[in-house]
């Protein structure tokens, strides 16, 4: 029982930080009745802010889904895991700032500054990908999972997460030349996580409902 | 046990987003001692902001009550449901922005802009109604409820939720001509949800306390 | 089990709103390096903001403690109770706004505006006191408590809560003439709730740890 | 069961306040496309804000880890403990304000004001250290732990926490002369809490997973 409570609080605190960060994004959206521009005009002008808002909302949303999928498997939480988790939450908490900077500079349009903002946003995302990799590796190494994972399966899961560490830099480099292409890239990774149902660690019938491979979102949508 | 934890985290994250969004609404309320207008004068002038605040607070509050009523019935949560839920939370998180825009433009008074702001606010609400419909349909289709729901009952529940998808556009169209009438319309839907005690899915004695039909709010108030 | 989950979510959502509201208060505190006033000078000038911050923090904190004490006793939650609770959270969510207004106008000093701000702050507090009274009355009337409460005990508990509904208007009237005396009055009610250990409903050995009368804070402090 | 719920809500409310406070820190980070300074230039200029952000994030993160370690041991929660905990949360909630002031004045550079801001930041941290000490002392005195703690062990644990009350003033005094040295000092205490795995109260096999001394973070990192 003590162990569940323990894991429960780590999840509750993480849920709190993720919920606050995802909702604070809205503070970046602004229109004002005091100027001469019509609201319709302002909404069109603000497309970089709205696009960045939508993407960052689902980036954090996917982080929550993945965080959930990782920790639902863990049977134990140790102190080191708490700090790796804190590292993940740190990068999540920077998203409202890097999103605001991205939107502001894309709207402004100076190429050098846009590139810097694209890099900044990439750092947030790369930081999260690395943190997730560290969490999974720690879960596997410290045997915090309900049963020993065959080394081959563990390696496969690690490679999948490492893939996330490579995809963000690629999207960022694309973004240096075309922010719109970068938006498309981020949308692609979000859709990948929505559609992909591969269990992180195979042969875990206990958690079958959490990582159910038979569920086809597009069919039921 | 694993299944309960699973559903528990989805509820905890949703509670977090709903709690932050409902409380962030207060950031739209402003009075200032630095100008020459008296506080009493400012409070009168700001009535669109205060009305919008009250309505949006209870709109989100009713969403929480309905979210609770839907998920208390679910016995399983799958990955697709997580994403439908994320979609609902996305629209909830836009409410502080669309509420602020609505209040700002009603106070400003330009008819064209007010109509655009009314539309924007309607989009948030319609997005939520559609998300709720998708969640309920998924719960019924995937048989995530504790027992098979008779098709007739399922259809009835879906129609009730589809009704929500129709009522918001109607209120929005009314709002294009009279924002005050729109406020009254939203208040009406809130009161409907407060008074209405019909169980979503009939014959569910296990959850009798959650969807207790015998409880008369007006009597006890 | 279903019933516990039900009550658990109401508590989780309430905890979320209370936690966000109590933490948003800090957004009212401002100092700025850009002016010519020294930081020490600004901290002295901002005493109304700091005092209001401290008082509102503990006002919301005491609400949490009382909310906890009421709901730890409830064995059932019905739909009406959800809406009474929503009413309580509504008034809680106005506190960051009414606190900011109070601090701003006390600093500004115009007597008429200060009185209006004192009234506004009193409305938030009175709204919460009335909501608490409605929640307790509903718990007693609907027999949502673990066992029937003797009418005399129920009446005594209701009178205690009704007392709260009287004390806030009195403090507010005092505040119309002296904001400092009002601050002292609010501090007095906070200290009353810290020291007072009387169980809300007597003879409830099950919850003895939650409403432990033998605990003397001043002794252990 | 009632007791667990009781402790659970105190933990949930604390998690909420800590999660909101840690995420609100991001509101202190600002860059703007409207000026003439490049984004790269602004990021360099804002180093005091970014450093303060990183430090305060992990200061609050470590508070969460310690809060978790203390309360996972408690078997009972009484009313006095609720108020000591509220005192801790009060000081936590001031961190976004004192962090913003610190960053603003270090950037501005006036020596007298920087010293005042360093003192202000030290007050937040000292307030938290004292609150933690009071919580631990209350847990020991009131015997809220699962079994009687040998007086020698209790004293040792109290001395460890009292050490925290001494280290913050020392770091603050150093900060009066060099804010950078102060930053290094705070980083040192954070790393100390990350690496240190000594159980708070020895011989508590029940919570072995929460306070596991065998876990070596640097090895697995």
Question: What CA–CA distance (Å, rounded) separates A40 from A34?
Answer: 14
Number of Cβ atoms within 10 Å of the Cβ of A38: 14
Q: D221: which chain A residues are within 8 Å (Cβ-Cβ)?
A: 80, 134
Residue C182 has pLDDT above 60, yes or no: yes
Q: Of the ranges B3-17, C15-29, D99-113, which is most confident?
A: C15-29
- The CA distance from B12 to C52, in Å, is 31
Q: Which residue has the higher pLDDT, B221 or B139?
A: B139
What is the distance between the alpha carbons of residues D105 and B28, in angstroms, rounded to a whole number?
29
For chain B, which residues lie within 8 Å of any Cβ of chain D, measuring from their own Cβ? 16, 19-20
**To the nearest whole number, what is the mean pLDDT of chain D?**
82
Residue B136, pLDDT > 50, answer yes
For residue A15, name the pLDDT band (cuts at 50, 70, 90): very high
Between CA A65 and CA A15 the distance in angstroms is 11
Residue B86 has pLDDT above 60, yes or no: yes
In this structure, are residues A154 and A140 in contact, taking their beta carbons and an 8 Å threshold? yes
Which whole number is the average pLDDT over B27-33? Answer: 88
Report how many helices (DSSP H) and strands (DSSP E) chain C contains, helices first: 8, 0
Percent of chain C with pLDDT over 90: 46
A20 min Cα distance to partner chain C (Å): 9
Whether C120 sits inside 8 A of B215 (CB atoms) is no
Over residues C20-46, the mean pLDDT reads 90
CA of C219, closest CA in chain B: separation in Å?
37
Instruction: Extract the tokens encoding C108.
Output: 């500004």
pLDDT of the residue at D152: 77
**pLDDT value of position D122:** 95
Predicted pLDDT at B197: 52
> C106: nearest CA in chain B?
B33
CA distance C75 to chain D (A): 10
Please, are residues A99 and A53 in contact by the beta-carbon 8 Å criterion? yes
Distances (CA, A) of D22 to C17, D94, D96: 16, 11, 8
Contacts of B12 in chain A (CB under 8 A): 11-12, 15
CB atoms within 10 A of CB C60: 22
Average pLDDT, chain C: 82
The CA distance from B85 to B63, in Å, is 12
Read off the pLDDT of each residue in A188-210 and give the average, rounded to a whole number. Answer: 57
Question: From CA D49, how far away is CA D46, in angstroms rounded?
Answer: 5
Which site among C22, C199, C216 would you substitute to test the D interface, given the most D Cβ atoms closer than 10 Å to its Cβ? C22
For residue D38, give how far its alpha carbon lies from the nearest alpha carbon of chain A (Å).
6
pLDDT surpassing 70 at residue C117: yes
Q: What is the pLDDT of residue B28?
A: 86
In terms of CA atoms, which chain B residue is nearest residue D23? B20
**Chain A residue with minimum CA distance to D211:** A79
The mean pLDDT of A52-59, rounded to a whole number, is 95
Within 8 A of A19 by CB-CB distance, chain C residues are: 16
User: Which pLDDT band holds residue B80 (cuts at 50, 70, 90)?
Assistant: confident
**pLDDT score of C196:** 65
Distance CA C33, CA D158 (A): 39
pLDDT at B109 exceeding the cut of 90: no
Query: What is residue D196's predicted lDDT score, i.e. its pLDDT?
Result: 65
Q: What is the mean pLDDT of residues A194-220?
A: 44
Q: Give residue C208's pLDDT band: very low, low, confident or very high (50, 70, 90).
A: very low
| Cα separation, B217 vs C34, whole angstroms | 54
Query: Which chain C residues touch D101 with a CB distance below 8 Å?
Result: 31, 39
ipTM of this complex prediction, to 2 decimal places? 0.84
Average pLDDT for residues C215-221, to the nearest whole number?
Answer: 37
Q: Which residue has the higher pLDDT, D206 or B142?
A: B142
Helix (H/G/I), strand (E/B), else coil: A139: helix
Q: Give the mean pLDDT of chain B.
A: 82
Distance from CA of A42 to the nearest CA of B (A): 11
Write out residues in chain D with pLDDT < 50, as ranges: 1-5, 201-221
Nearest to C26 among D82, D93, D113 (CB): D93
Q: Which of C56, C78, C110 to mutate to test the interface with B (most CBs of B within 10 A)?
A: C78
Collapsing DSSP states into helix, strand and coil, what is residue B58?
helix
Interface of D with B (CB under 8 A): 16, 19-20
d(CA D178, CA D166): 19
Chain D residue with minimum CA distance to C11: D9
Tokens of A164: 């996330």
B-chain residue closest to C5, CA distance: B72
Q: Would the CB atoms of C112 and B38 count as touching at under 8 Å?
A: yes
Tens of pLDDT, residue by residue over A95-128, are 999 999 999 999 888 888 999 999 999 999 999 9
Kindly tell me if the per-residue pLDDT of B178 is higher than 60: yes
Q: Is the pTM of this model over 0.90?
A: no
What count of CB pairs under 8 Å joins A to B?
A: 123
pLDDT value, residue D206: 36
pLDDT tens sequence across D180-196: 999 999 999 888 877 76
Choose the weakest-confidence range: A197-201, B152-156, D4-8. A197-201
């Amino acid at each position: 029982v003590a162990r569940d409570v323990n894991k429960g609080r780590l999840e509750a605190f993480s849920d709190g930080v993720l919920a606050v960060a995802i909702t604070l994004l809205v503070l970046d959206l602004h229109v004002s009745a005091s100027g001469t521009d019509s609201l319709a005009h302002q909404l069109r002008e603000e497309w970089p802010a709205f696009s960045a808002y939508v993407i960052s909302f689902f980036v954090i949303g996917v982080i929550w889904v993945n965080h959930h999928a990782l920790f639902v498997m863990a049977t134990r939480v140790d102190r080191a895991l708490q700090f790796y988790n804190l590292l993940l939450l740190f990068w999540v908490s920077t998203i409202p700032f890097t999103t605001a900077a991205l939107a502001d500079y894309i709207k402004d349009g100076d190429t050098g500054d846009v590139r810097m903002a694209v890099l900044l946003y990439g750092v947030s995302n790369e930081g999260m990908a690395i943190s997730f990799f560290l969490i999974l590796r720690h879960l596997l190494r410290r045997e915090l999972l309900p049963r020993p994972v065959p080394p081959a399966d563990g390696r496969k899961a690690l490679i999948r997460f490492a893939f996330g560490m490579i995809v963000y830099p690629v999207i960022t480099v694309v973004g240096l030349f075309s922010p719109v292409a970068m938006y498309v890239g981020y949308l692609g990774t979000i859709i990948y996580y929505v559609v992909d149902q591969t269990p992180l660690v195979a042969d875990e019938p206990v958690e079958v409902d959490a990582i159910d491979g038979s569920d086809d979102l597009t069919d039921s949508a």
